[in-house]
Homo-oligomer: A and B are copies of this chain.
Amino acid sequence: MARTGRRPGNQDTREAILAAARQAFAEHGYDKASIRHIATSAGVDPALVHHYFGAKEQLFLAVMEAPIDPGKAIGEVLAGGLDGVGERLIRMFLTVWDSPAGVPAAALIRSAVSHDWSARMLREFVTSQILRRVIGGLDLDPKEGPLRASLVASQLVGLIMARYIVKIEPIASAPRETLVANVAPTIQRYLAGPLEGLDR
């Protein structure tokens, strides 16, 4: 088969940028990591980082090997507003995980659990790419939004663990819609129901 890919030199540059970015996001978090700093660490011009990866968010998604663009998927879920958002969110989530895209995603969670730096990366990913969008997209009370969104995250991560990683039956082999039907009210309540234990 003829080689049609990028020249090795470009591939090396991409890898160097990804390695520098991985370290920067893990050390400084998503918000404080800068393209300029990442470019310096990789020994390239910042323009080259933009050329290969686009903006910081796309670079982060490339580092995380994200199987889908969470912004797009979550945008569709949130577009309908609070009414029925629990069901739309859990269905979208399980549809992605049941697809081939779920394989690298499971690898990401495995890695996050066994390595501190991966856990930091997953935390940044969940916070900057998912929770922040959910809070913003639903116009949640800023005092309540972070707790609501992290409760949602706890149920979603637990479902992933039970279905794909620890494989607890019958969740591991249940039809997707059975899980959607039973978990949707939980997500809905975390996002839109009464919230306890916050100072007001």
Q: Are B114 and A186 in contact (CB under 8 A)?
A: no
How many of chain A's residues have a CB under 8 angstroms from any CB in B?
A: 49
Chain B residues near A185: list those with CB within 8 A.
189
Beta-carbon contact of B167 and A123 below 8 Å: yes
Closest residue of chain B to A131 (Cβ to Cβ) is: B168
Interface assignment of A146: CB less than 8 Å from any CB of chain B:
yes
On whether the beta carbons of B158 and A159 are closer than 8 Å, the reply is yes
Instruction: Give the residues in chain B near A157, CB-CB below 8 Å.
Output: 157-158, 161-162, 166
- Which residues does chain B contribute within 8 Å of A113, judged by CB atoms? 109-110, 113-114, 161, 165-166
Q: Tell me the interface secondary structure of chain A in the complex.
A: helix
Contacting residues, chain B, for A155 (C-beta < 8 A): 154-155, 158, 186
Q: How far is the CA of A38 from the CA of B110 in the complex (A)?
A: 30
Q: Other CB < 8 Å A-B pairs besides A146-B170, A185-B189, A186-B189, 11 of them? A: A119-B167, A122-B166, A123-B167, A123-B168, A126-B166, A147-B170, A151-B182, A153-B168, A155-B155, A157-B158, A157-B161
- In the assembled complex, 13 residue pairs joining A and B whose CB atoms fall closer than 8 Å, in A order, are A110-B114, A113-B161, A119-B166, A150-B162, A150-B171, A153-B162, A154-B161, A154-B162, A154-B163, A157-B157, A157-B162, A158-B161, A182-B195
